Amino acid sequence: MYQIGLFSKINFITTKTLRHYDEISLLKPDHVDYLTGYRYYTNEQLPRLHRILALKQLGLSLNEIKEIIENPLSIEVFLKLKERELQEEIERETRRLTEVRTWINHVKGEITMSYTPILKELPRVIVASMRTTIPSYDTYFDVVPKMGEEMGRQGAVIEENPAYCFTIYHDGEYKERDIDVEVCEAVQKACDDSEMVKYKTIEKVGTAACVLHKGPYKTIRDAYGFLFTWIKENNYEIDGNPRESYIDGIWNKENENDWLTELQVPVKKK
């Protein structure tokens, strides 16, 4: 029989930990001297302690370990849960490692980091929507004012907290001619539809890869090229139609070099 101090030295575990195991009834001493309060342990308790320590090294919580000790048949359930948790952690850290390596390459000058990608959630919004086919990007500014005029006639109130004006591209690929676009403006509530402008709710997107593009729309293809490459290199795949969210543009910036657009591409992990 060993006093708690010697038992702790033999098993490389602190007396504080042994006392805690006693308090939660995970490993109670074999005997407690009722006069001194000293705790005593025996060799017969070593297998139980070793099992506790082994399970703890696997990352299981003390509550989980206690359940396994008391119900040995539950061990497979807990180990499978831990396996799934570790696999998810590995995937998260692998993504982070890939992103760190991308930045290392940038620092070394191996690539040009013109854009800084982020992953974020896109909110659920009520929108005024106009879907049409435009001959080219140059005609885009002819379309949007007409939509604004129609929304005014419908009595639409634009949501400004925050404002969210964006275009969804439905072609599934980059096109320079006959582009299938859906122009969306977040509104406070839906109005009656017209032939030109419809109202609907767009559900949130859990994960979107996004970059900011500053400058005229004629150079936005560079941002798309960068973002699609980043998505592929970081083991994501596109999970929805790309959006362009307009932050600054012709309506508030005289110089097109000051226009600011965020590209938003829904993605999921491969």
Indicate whether 259 belongs to any domain: yes
Q: Are both 133 and 54 inside the same structural domain?
A: no
Q: Are both 42 and 95 inside the same structural domain?
A: no
193-208 confidence digits (pLDDT tens): 999 999 999 999 999 9
Domain that holds residue 186: 118-269
Indicate whether 32 belongs to any domain: yes
CA proximity to 59, closest of 86, 28, 87, 22: 86
DSSP β-ladder status, 205-214 and 179-186:
unpaired
In this predicted structure, what is the pLDDT of residue 206? 94
Indicate whether 76 belongs to any domain: no
CA proximity to 216, closest of 182, 243, 187, 246: 246
Share of the chain above pLDDT 90, in %: 49
Indicate whether 183 belongs to any domain: yes
The CA-based angle 34-36-39, given to 5 degrees, is 75
Indicate whether 75 belongs to any domain: no
CATH number, domain at 148? 3.20.80.10
Indicate whether 170 belongs to any domain: yes
Q: Are both 24 and 99 inside the same structural domain?
A: no
In this predicted structure, what is the pLDDT of residue 111? 46
Q: Are both 127 and 255 inside the same structural domain?
A: yes
Q: Map tokens 């919004």 to a residue.
A: 125
Q: Residue 172: is its pLDDT beyond 80?
A: no
Indicate whether 202 belongs to any domain: yes
Q: Are both 57 and 128 inside the same structural domain?
A: no
Q: Are both 215 and 195 inside the same structural domain?
A: yes
Domain count, the chain: 3
Distance of CA 115 to the CA centre of its chain: 19
Q: Are both 86 and 61 inside the same structural domain?
A: no
DSSP β-ladder status, 125-134 and 198-202:
antiparallel
* CB neighbour list of residue 155: distance below 8 Å, 6 or more residues apart: 191
Distances (CA, A) of 64 to 51, 81, 85: 12, 11, 14
User: Following DSSP, what letter does each residue of 66-132 receive, concatenated?
Assistant: HHHHH-GGGHHHHHHHHHHHHHHHHHHHHHHHHHHHHHHHHHHTSS------EEEEEPPEEEEEEEE
Indicate whether 177 belongs to any domain: yes
33-90 confidence digits (pLDDT tens): 888 889 999 999 999 999 999 999 889 999 999 999 888 888 888 899 989 989 888 8
